[in-house]
Chains A and B, each alone.
Chain A
Amino acid sequence: MNVIELKQLTKTYRVYQKKEGLLASLGGLFQREYRDVNAVRGIDLTVAKGEFVAFLGPNGAGKTTTLKLLSGVINPTSGTAQVLGYVPWERKNAYRRRFALVMGQKNQLWWDLPANESYRLHQQIYRIEPAEFTRTLDELTGLLGVRELLRQPVRELSLGERMKMELIAALLHSPEVLFLDEPTIGLDVIAQHNVRQFLKQYQLERQTTILLTSHYMKDVAALCERVVVIAHGQIEYDGSLAGILDRFSGHKIVTLAFTENQMPPDLTPFGEILEVLPPKVKLRIDRNVVAEKLASLLSQHSVEDVSVEEPPLEEVIADVFSRATRSKEA
């Protein structure tokens, strides 16, 4: 069953172009120049129940705009979307009771009050039964290890603790669909790990459908089987994380350790040299000739150790992004 269905979803913003300088600013009072920004350009996407999908893309790619459209925060320019059978921007209460949005850069808890007080408000707005509220809150605070922080004013919490509290606020009403916009942004390594572990476990138990945007590849690798790469408002790739490597990375990284003083002077015929730390060499070799090159290397030289690896995911993704930028400019 598809929980999310997008067809040709498009969002265009009209942005005022401010010129530099005072005179130009004064001119702007009377005559303004606008530019159309195509934040999302005809996205088609379906997500099945219980999927954990990552949205990857450079800044300004349209990830957050898509999440805002799906949450009904903004209206689209054209196209259709259905989430749980509802059109998000109709803002039906029945829909709003069934999903949640967490934005890592914004907070919805009352700043000067303990998180507990904000949760009580949520309980009333979402009409959560007292017994269920207590049970869910207990479960979530236990999982995230923040039970003793419930009575501390939010402004006195660390960033990581506050993010956990925000997550709890979003999950109290047990949403069936969850949109996470960079939930680990700015967190230290340990806090990132904790949030990641929590999301993994929570999703496993509840089978919540989750869309996540993140710039941290570790988030994506740990949580999502399916990855959607967005660049310039369009979907560039939709598939497994491993599939990105197959499709976008044309090479493998081969590390060789030669026997003492046996390192050949010139290795360029075999591939691009990335690093030389005698007796070790790191080479970048085209994916489709790896076996062939490796065979001739091993037959011609005395090699003690070999390893063949995929290039780092971050590199491949960055490459996908820059390729998308180049093709747009062209």
Chain B
Amino acid sequence: MSEQQPVLVRVFLTFARNSLVREMTFRTNFFIQCVSAISWTLMNLGFYLIIFHHLNRKPLADGSGWQQNEFFVFLATTWIVFSIVQAFFMPNVQEFSELIRTGNLDFVFLKPIDTQFLISFAKVDWSALANFVMGILLLTVGVWRLTTQSNNPLSLNLANVLLYWFYVACGVTILYSLMISLAATSIWLGRNQSLYDFWFYITNFSRYPMEIYARSWGWSLWGLFTFVIPILIVINVPARILARPLRPEGPWLGLPLSGFAILATLVCLVISRRVFSLALQSYRSASS
């Protein structure tokens, strides 16, 4: 027997493969899930088209520069980030709460592999990636329209594109950290049904450009969701890098915010890892 550590990438690929085999066993279910995900996405798009129709070429918040095409980039980023979270983390985190309640977490502790890795990556919901494809399509349309518009066309370079994906990864990491911390609390609470609700309430705030909150008491929301629970930077930072809706950028929208996003990602990751291992110490299993 080899004393080497398992290669995490290979283990993950096997997880992903097993999940795909499983989903293919229930093909009809798989297609229905894809169709319902895409329908929701299209309704979402229709809703914003109506809003922009009402706005009549004005941006989403006064002077913010989030007009229809810029917002398409923002919306596409939302779909991309959330589809990644839905596909790779949501099924595992939900399963985690269930494992705690039923005591089946026992088996996870037996494996000679990082426990958080095993819990976070065991399942992949491939159907959720339908929205990832939709996001890429909408992103392409948005960027293409921005670069070809006659008035002040957007010029795109490789650095922007790479930075965009880097910050998408940061956003996913922040959401994952928040999720796994919330789920880990089920070890102390025994049951945490409000997990999904809370998740939905909180992440709703991340789905709009942050300029919307830059009004009177909205600032407190902005501060809360930027610095305490940094949910606002998840979509805003990558989308802003690609769509560049505001030129010149406001004092907190440019470099400082991008720098802060990296810091926030690291802090979230460290805190969530800490909460996770602390929670595991309190695990008490369930009846045999």
Asked whether A71 is an interface residue with its Cβ less than 8 Å from the other chain, the reply is yes
Chain B stretch 1-45: residues in CB contact (< 8 A) with chain A: 1-7, 10-11, 14-15, 18, 21-22, 25-26
Given contacts A74-B285, A75-B281, A121-B11, A128 and B2 within 8 Å (CB-CB): yes
Given contacts A121-B11, A124-B11, A91 and B109 within 8 Å (CB-CB): yes
**A101 engages B5 (CB within 8 Å):** no
Given contacts A117-B18, A153-B25, A127 and B1 within 8 Å (CB-CB): yes
Q: Among B1, B7, B10, B288, point to the contact of A128 (Cβ < 8 A).
A: B1
Question: How many angstroms between the C-alpha atoms of A132 and B1 in the bound complex?
Answer: 8
Q: Among A100, A117, A127, A181, point to the contact of B2 (Cβ < 8 A).
A: A127
- Which of A108-116, A255-263, A302-310 is the interface stretch? A108-116
Q: Among A73, A120, A182, point to the contact of B106 (Cβ < 8 A).
A: A73
Question: How many angstroms between the C-alpha atoms of A126 and B10 in the bound complex?
Answer: 12
**A127 engages B109 (CB within 8 Å):** no
Asked whether B215 is an interface residue with its Cβ less than 8 Å from the other chain, the reply is no
**B6 engages A71 (CB within 8 Å):** no
Question: How many angstroms between the C-alpha atoms of A282 and B185 in the bound complex?
Answer: 62
**B111 engages A124 (CB within 8 Å):** no
**A108 engages B112 (CB within 8 Å):** no
Closest-by-CB residue of A relative to B118 is A125
Q: Among A13, A106, A125, A128, point to the contact of B111 (Cβ < 8 A).
A: A125
Number of interface residues of B (CB under 8 A): 31
**B288 engages A124 (CB within 8 Å):** no
Chain A stretch 104-152: residues in CB contact (< 8 A) with chain B: 105-106, 108, 110, 112-113, 117-118, 120-121, 124-129, 132
Question: How many angstroms between the C-alpha atoms of A108 and B110 in the bound complex?
Answer: 11
**B3 engages A94 (CB within 8 Å):** yes
**A103 engages B106 (CB within 8 Å):** yes
Taking beta carbons and an 8 Å cutoff, which residues of A are in contact with B?
13, 64, 68, 71-75, 91, 93-94, 96-97, 99-101, 103, 105-106, 108, 110, 112-113, 117-118, 120-121, 124-129, 132, 153, 173-174, 181-182
A-B contact pairs, 22 of them (CB 8 A): A71-B106, A74-B284, A91-B115, A93-B5, A93-B112, A97-B3, A100-B110, A101-B107, A103-B106, A103-B288, A105-B288, A106-B104, A106-B107, A112-B22, A117-B21, A120-B14, A121-B11, A121-B14, A125-B111, A126-B112, A128-B2, A174-B1
